[in-house]
Amino acid sequence: MIRMACRDWHGSTHGLCSECVTLQGFADFRLDRCPFEENKPTCSKCQIHCYKPEMRERIRAVMRYAGPRMYRRHPILTLYHLLDGFRMAPVIPGGHRGSGSLSKS
């Protein structure tokens, strides 16, 4: 999704621009540390908000733009994402704090 938005918004034809490389790196970093691992729900159903507010707005803009266009480029991935949207988010043991970190209580 980030590649698609970068190409259309920033005119990148060979990879990502520096701004989008930063966004992709942040997204990869946060996904690698997700406590749900393979059971991660879609962002709209997730109980943990793992993106900083600025990055969250940037990734929302990317998803808003690229989401409706994904079905043409990646119809199977789009179908899987839609099906994932029906899955309930796993329960977080012990609750969580606002910045995406899990509490120890």
Q: What is the pLDDT along the chain (105 residues), one digit of tens a residue?
A: 999 999 999 998 888 999 999 999 999 998 888 888 777 777 777 777 788 889 999 999 998 999 889 888 889 988 988 888 887 777 776 655 444 444 333
Q: How far apart are the first and last CA of the chain?
A: 37
pLDDT of residue 102: 42
State which H helix or E strand residue 70 sits in: helix 53-73
**For helices 2-10 and 18-32, what crossing angle results, to 10°?**
170
Residue 102 three-state SS: strand
How many residues belong to the chain?
A: 105
Instruction: Provide the whole-model pTM.
Output: 0.72
Q: Report pLDDT for 40.
A: 79
CB atoms within 10 A of CB 73: 12
